[in-house]
Every structure is written in C-alpha cells, then in structure tokens.
Amino acid sequence: MPLPSPKAIRLDELAARVGATLEGDGATPIDRVATLENAGPGAIAFLANPKYRAQLASTHASAVIVAPGAAADTPLPKLVVPNPYATYAKVAALLNPAAAPIPGVHASAVIAPTARVAADAVIGPNATVGAGARIGARAVIGPGCVIGDDAEVGDDVMLVANVVLYPRCVIGARSLVHAGAVLGADGFGMAEEGGRWLKIPQLGRVLIGADVEIGANTTIDRGAIDDTVIGDDVKIDNQVQIGHNCVIGAHTAIAGCVGIAGSTRIGRNVKIGGAAGVAGHLDIADGTIISGATQVFDPITTPGVYTATFPALPHARWRKIASHTRHLDEFVDRLRALERAAKNNEKGGGGR
C-alpha cells in the first residue's frame, strides 16, 4: 500500500472537523478526495447521486462519505452525514488548503496616492488601483486587475486576475471574483430619437455583497440611476450577463451563460440553470427554480420549478413538429368552428 502523503489527515479527525458520524477505523489516513470510480488507497470518495450507488461495492477508496440510508451498503470506513455532497466540499477544502498570500505591492502595480490599501493586502503585477479606492485587509488584487476611482474591495476578497471593478462599485467581504469578470460597466441604456440612438448616462453602481462568487468573464452592469445589487452568498457561474438595475437576492445560484435583462428582481434562494434567459422588468419569487435554457418572459410569483425547453429530436422530426407548430392558430380556429357547429346542431335537435 502506498505511504500516505505528508498532508494526510486521520479519518476520525476529519469526522470531528466536519461534524460527521464516524463508522469504522478512525485511524485510516486520508490525503485526497476522489470519485467512487477512480478512487485509490488514501482517497475518500462520496455518494451524493443515488444512480452511482452500485459503485460503493467496487470502489478502491480508503473511506467514503455517505448518507445514513447508504451506510450499510459498504464495509469501508465511512463518514455518515445527511448531506454527503456538502461534507465532501468541506473535506476537500481541509485537504487542499489555499496557500496564504504574501502581503505587498508588486513593483509594476500602479497605486493612486489617495488610494487606501491595507498593509496586509496583496497587489499583483500590473494591477491598477484608482484614486480614492479602498482595499480591505488581506484582500488579493491579482495580476492585471483594475480598481476604479472610489471603488471598494472588502476584507479577504480575492480578485484572481484581469478583473475590472469600475469606479464607485463595491465588493463585500470574502467574495471571490474569477479572471476576466467586469463589474460596473455601463448598462445598455439607449433612447431612440430620429432614427438614432442617444446614450443614457449610467449613474448607479454595482454593489456586491459578502461571500459572493463570480465566475470568469461574467459581466454585471452598473445601474442607470439606482444601483445593481448582488446579495450575500450569491454564486454566479462563468459568462453570465446581469443587466443594469437588477437585484439578485441572497443565496441565489446562477449557472453559466445565463442572461438577465435590466431591472429584473430575482428573489432569495433562486436557482437558475445554464443558458436560461430572463427578460427585463420582472419579479422572480424566492425559492424559484428555473431549468436550463428556459426563457422567462413573465413574472414568477409562485415558487416552483419552471421549464420551457423542448427536448432534442432528430432533425427531420424537429422540422416536422416545427411546421405543425406554425399552424397552431389555424388548428385552433378550425377546432372552434367545429365546436360552434356542434353546439348549433345540438340546439337544432341534431336531426333532419
């Protein structure tokens, strides 16, 4: 059996640190997480999706994380918890601690004289911090980031690389922003006059709450008058577009390539699947789940699961169904005519 790595943690210590019930040998050394299928000695795997339950019998993991209902399915040492996936996340973080950043300002960074940068913050190569900007304690401003004038970055924030935070915008404590995100660009505000477009000044800000994560190349527009607001603990995936004056409630999760048009209010604990689109000036109720690729054109006032996609079909069949769909109005008119004729026959006695 391979020797455990220097970062190995005993299973009983992991159980204590994540609040799990231990079953089996607590001295089992664990040095990494893995899937049930690919785990080997020293690894701890987890069962979160019931469709992989059969893999418990064949896994080569040293230990597993399971719910109480699956604990009897394996003789391996195990952590028994109500939510194996969340516990896996905690274990993975314990086994893979982030390296502590070294405070300081890189020689190539440009810091405005009136900016306030905490002594223990990190300012990376070619980063720029504008006039009056504030960088909180232990914040990390990665390579190539641009912090606009009078913007604010809270304590323990990490901006990975090439993040742009426009003037006066705010990022709350402990938030993580991945590479290439743009926070506070002008919203798409235009007024038409005489066949030409007049740009509407975008005077609001973007306010990001605490413990938010924003994915790579995501864009969040500043408000036209009021602020665009992202609540605490919101998780936003890569390449998401959030329009001006939107409000996203706390603990909401938004998957990749979602587009949310301006002035829409998304409630708390909402889940939006990848590539969904939400029209502007709508309210979405707390706790709503919007399936991937769904297009939302009307307010959602009652929480539930909302889906508006059509399953993939062979192309020829899809064309046939699409052709039928174009004639739905005609079919409805014909059906109503038949109903009227049937009612007239009933009134007339139906006989000759």
**CA dihedral sign, ordered 282, 239, 98, 164:** negative
Residue 345 has φ and ψ, to the nearest 5°, of -65, -40
The residues that bridge with 45 in the sheet, in sequence order, are 64
Cβ count near 347 (within 10 Å): 8
**CA dihedral sign, ordered 25, 29, 35, 38:** negative
Q: Check: CB of residue 79 under 8 Å from CB of residue 63.
A: yes
Instruction: Retrieve residue 288's tokens.
Output: 């709503």
Catalytic residue list: 244
Residue 98 has φ and ψ, to the nearest 5°, of -70, 145
How far apart are the C-alpha atoms of 304 and 144, rounded to whole Å? 42
Continuous H helices in the chain: 11-18, 84-95, 315-326, 328-347
The residues that bridge with 80 in the sheet, in sequence order, are 21, 66
Strands 164-165, 265-266: pairing kind: unpaired
How far apart are the C-alpha atoms of 300 and 314, rounded to whole Å? 32
Q: Check: CB of residue 252 under 8 Å from CB of residue 236.
A: no
SS3 27: coil
Instruction: Retrieve residue 262's tokens.
Output: 């301006």
Which residues are CB-neighbours of 207 under 8 A, at least 6 positions away? 169, 170, 172, 227, 228, 229, 230
Q: Check: CB of residue 197 under 8 Å from CB of residue 178.
A: no
Q: Check: CB of residue 253 under 8 Å from CB of residue 287.
A: no
**For every residue of 86-110, which 3-state class applies, written as one string?**
HHHHHHHHHHCCCCCCCCEECCCCE
